[in-house]
Amino acid sequence: MNLTETQISSEPIFEGTFLDIHRDTVRLPNGKEASRIVVRHPGAACVLALTAEQQVVLVRQWRYPLGKPVLEVPAGKLDMAGEDPAACALRELAEETPYVADAVRLLHTFYTAPGFCDEKIYLYQAEGVRAGSTLQNDEDEFTETVLLGREAIRAALQNGEIVDAKTLIGLQYWLLNS
Protein backbone atom coordinates (compact mmCIF):
# COMPACT_ATOMS: atom_id res chain seq x y z
CA MET A 1 0.00 0.00 0.00
CA ASN A 2 1.30 3.45 -0.91
CA LEU A 3 1.23 5.73 2.16
CA THR A 4 3.31 8.59 0.73
CA GLU A 5 2.14 12.17 1.17
CA THR A 6 3.80 14.48 -1.36
CA GLN A 7 4.42 18.15 -0.58
CA ILE A 8 2.74 20.52 -3.04
CA SER A 9 3.58 23.78 -1.27
CA SER A 10 4.95 25.12 2.00
CA GLU A 11 4.11 28.44 3.68
CA PRO A 12 6.19 29.70 6.62
CA ILE A 13 4.01 30.62 9.59
CA PHE A 14 6.79 31.37 12.06
CA GLU A 15 10.58 31.44 11.78
CA GLY A 16 12.34 31.43 15.14
CA THR A 17 15.83 31.18 16.52
CA PHE A 18 15.85 27.38 16.51
CA LEU A 19 12.55 26.20 15.09
CA ASP A 20 10.28 27.08 12.21
CA ILE A 21 6.59 26.36 11.72
CA HIS A 22 5.19 25.76 8.24
CA ARG A 23 1.77 25.10 6.76
CA ASP A 24 2.26 22.54 4.02
CA THR A 25 -0.21 21.40 1.41
CA VAL A 26 0.24 17.73 0.54
CA ARG A 27 -1.19 15.29 -1.95
CA LEU A 28 -2.53 12.21 -0.19
CA PRO A 29 -2.17 8.66 -1.50
CA ASN A 30 -5.78 8.83 -2.74
CA GLY A 31 -5.03 11.96 -4.82
CA LYS A 32 -6.80 14.44 -2.54
CA GLU A 33 -5.10 17.43 -0.93
CA ALA A 34 -4.70 18.11 2.79
CA SER A 35 -3.00 20.67 5.03
CA ARG A 36 -0.22 19.80 7.50
CA ILE A 37 1.26 22.05 10.18
CA VAL A 38 4.93 21.08 10.58
CA VAL A 39 7.44 22.17 13.22
CA ARG A 40 10.99 22.04 11.82
CA HIS A 41 13.68 21.49 14.46
CA PRO A 42 17.48 21.13 14.00
CA GLY A 43 17.62 18.01 16.17
CA ALA A 44 19.11 17.38 19.59
CA ALA A 45 21.36 15.08 21.55
CA CYS A 46 20.98 13.68 25.04
CA VAL A 47 23.35 11.72 27.21
CA LEU A 48 22.92 8.94 29.73
CA ALA A 49 25.87 9.44 32.08
CA LEU A 50 26.71 7.20 35.03
CA THR A 51 29.26 8.00 37.70
CA ALA A 52 31.78 5.42 38.92
CA GLU A 53 29.33 4.82 41.80
CA GLN A 54 26.63 3.83 39.28
CA GLN A 55 24.57 6.95 39.83
CA VAL A 56 22.79 8.50 36.85
CA VAL A 57 23.61 12.16 36.25
CA LEU A 58 20.33 14.04 35.80
CA VAL A 59 19.38 17.69 35.74
CA ARG A 60 16.33 19.36 37.20
CA GLN A 61 15.29 22.24 34.96
CA TRP A 62 12.28 24.55 34.86
CA ARG A 63 10.17 23.81 31.79
CA TYR A 64 8.08 26.87 31.11
CA PRO A 65 5.42 25.19 28.89
CA LEU A 66 4.70 22.73 31.73
CA GLY A 67 4.94 25.32 34.49
CA LYS A 68 7.14 23.09 36.63
CA PRO A 69 10.65 21.69 36.98
CA VAL A 70 11.40 18.42 35.18
CA LEU A 71 14.05 15.81 35.94
CA GLU A 72 15.94 14.95 32.73
CA VAL A 73 19.11 13.52 31.25
CA PRO A 74 21.40 16.33 30.07
CA ALA A 75 20.42 17.37 26.55
CA GLY A 76 20.35 20.18 24.06
CA LYS A 77 19.71 21.12 20.49
CA LEU A 78 22.26 20.86 17.75
CA ASP A 79 23.65 24.39 17.62
CA MET A 80 24.52 24.56 13.94
CA ALA A 81 23.73 22.75 10.74
CA GLY A 82 25.91 19.69 10.50
CA GLU A 83 27.01 19.70 14.16
CA ASP A 84 28.16 16.27 15.29
CA PRO A 85 25.48 15.00 17.72
CA ALA A 86 28.17 13.22 19.77
CA ALA A 87 30.00 16.52 20.30
CA CYS A 88 26.69 18.12 21.28
CA ALA A 89 26.03 15.38 23.86
CA LEU A 90 29.49 15.84 25.42
CA ARG A 91 29.06 19.63 25.46
CA GLU A 92 25.61 19.47 27.07
CA LEU A 93 26.84 17.13 29.83
CA ALA A 94 29.67 19.55 30.61
CA GLU A 95 27.51 22.69 30.38
CA GLU A 96 24.56 21.45 32.44
CA THR A 97 26.43 19.46 35.11
CA PRO A 98 29.82 19.42 36.82
CA TYR A 99 30.67 16.23 34.87
CA VAL A 100 32.61 15.46 31.71
CA ALA A 101 33.09 12.24 29.76
CA ASP A 102 35.90 10.79 27.67
CA ALA A 103 33.54 9.68 24.89
CA VAL A 104 29.95 8.80 24.07
CA ARG A 105 28.44 5.77 22.35
CA LEU A 106 25.24 6.08 20.32
CA LEU A 107 22.43 3.98 21.80
CA HIS A 108 19.47 5.01 19.69
CA THR A 109 17.86 7.77 17.64
CA PHE A 110 14.18 8.65 17.75
CA TYR A 111 11.66 11.31 16.76
CA THR A 112 9.91 13.16 19.58
CA ALA A 113 6.55 13.90 17.96
CA PRO A 114 6.46 12.66 14.34
CA GLY A 115 2.84 13.65 13.86
CA PHE A 116 3.79 17.33 13.62
CA CYS A 117 7.53 17.75 14.25
CA ASP A 118 10.74 16.53 12.60
CA GLU A 119 12.91 16.77 15.75
CA LYS A 120 15.31 13.83 15.88
CA ILE A 121 17.08 13.06 19.14
CA TYR A 122 20.35 11.16 19.39
CA LEU A 123 20.62 9.23 22.67
CA TYR A 124 24.19 8.53 23.80
CA GLN A 125 25.75 6.74 26.72
CA ALA A 126 28.74 8.53 28.21
CA GLU A 127 31.98 6.67 28.89
CA GLY A 128 34.62 7.72 31.40
CA VAL A 129 32.31 10.03 33.38
CA ARG A 130 33.99 12.10 36.07
CA ALA A 131 33.66 15.45 37.82
CA GLY A 132 35.66 18.29 36.34
CA SER A 133 33.64 20.44 33.98
CA THR A 134 34.55 24.10 33.73
CA LEU A 135 31.73 24.97 31.32
CA GLN A 136 28.61 26.89 32.29
CA ASN A 137 24.95 26.74 31.30
CA ASP A 138 23.70 29.09 28.61
CA GLU A 139 22.79 32.47 30.14
CA ASP A 140 19.05 31.70 29.99
CA GLU A 141 19.37 28.15 31.35
CA PHE A 142 19.40 27.10 35.00
CA THR A 143 19.89 23.49 36.05
CA GLU A 144 20.36 21.57 39.28
CA THR A 145 22.40 18.36 39.10
CA VAL A 146 20.74 15.31 40.64
CA LEU A 147 22.47 11.94 41.09
CA LEU A 148 20.23 8.87 41.46
CA GLY A 149 21.11 5.22 41.88
CA ARG A 150 19.18 2.30 40.44
CA GLU A 151 16.57 2.01 43.21
CA ALA A 152 16.00 5.77 43.34
CA ILE A 153 15.55 5.77 39.53
CA ARG A 154 12.99 2.96 39.80
CA ALA A 155 11.13 4.87 42.53
CA ALA A 156 11.16 8.11 40.50
CA LEU A 157 9.81 6.25 37.47
CA GLN A 158 7.16 4.51 39.56
CA ASN A 159 5.91 7.69 41.24
CA GLY A 160 5.77 9.72 38.02
CA GLU A 161 8.59 12.09 38.98
CA ILE A 162 10.26 11.48 35.60
CA VAL A 163 7.95 12.50 32.73
CA ASP A 164 10.35 13.53 29.97
CA ALA A 165 10.34 11.15 26.98
CA LYS A 166 14.07 11.21 26.20
CA THR A 167 14.83 10.52 29.85
CA LEU A 168 12.29 7.70 30.04
CA ILE A 169 13.85 6.10 26.95
CA GLY A 170 17.40 6.44 28.27
CA LEU A 171 16.61 5.15 31.74
CA GLN A 172 14.57 2.21 30.47
CA TYR A 173 17.48 1.27 28.21
CA TRP A 174 19.86 1.41 31.19
CA LEU A 175 17.57 -0.56 33.49
CA LEU A 176 17.00 -3.27 30.89
CA ASN A 177 20.61 -3.59 29.70
CA SER A 178 22.74 -3.27 32.81
Residues 6+ apart with CB under 8 A from 18: 41, 42, 77
Which residue among 33, 72, 95, 139 is the active-site one?
139
Closest alpha carbon to 171 in 149, 141, 146, 140: 149
Burial (CB count within 10 angstroms: exposed 0-12, middle 13-18, buried 19+), residue 122: buried
Q: Mark whether 15 is an active-site residue.
A: no
C-alpha 91/C-alpha 80 separation (Å) is 13
Residues 6+ apart with CB under 8 A from 143: 59, 60, 61, 74, 96, 97, 137
* Active-site residue set: 139
